[in-house]
Amino acid sequence: MTTRAAHGAPPVGACVEYLGEDVPELYLWKGHPGVVIDAPSFEPRELVVAFVAGPSLCVPAAEVHGLDDAHYRSRGRRIIDGMHPIAERGVGTPLTAEGSNWP
């Protein structure tokens, strides 16, 4: 069941992309796809996102944006293959094993 997060944030279960700068030490990249898994009632608004082949993090709602299914899948495949989700460069081995957090 999908529930709506407050203030127009993506709901639980929504596919999203990370809008912040690359954070290599966390295996998190600009454009990184993920799924919202929780919407705690923090202020300012934050969401818990499980990023494909990466971490699950609590991030400000302003740092993620809805992502359609096709882009979620293509970017997720790039991450699993060790590529940046939107730039033409490698980023190394994913944080989790191949196929983890993958539909």
pLDDT digits (tens, 9 = 90+) for 4-29: 455 578 999 999 999 999 999 999 99
CA 87/CA 74 separation, integer angstroms: 13
pLDDT tens across 36-93, in order? Answer: 999 988 788 899 999 998 899 999 999 999 999 999 999 999 998 899 999 999 998 8
- CA-based nearest residue to 13, from 34, 42, 29: 34
> Structural domain boundaries of the chain?
6-80
Higher-pLDDT residue of 37 and 96 is 37
Q: pTM value?
A: 0.85
**Domain covering 6-80 in this structure, CATH number:** 2.30.30.30
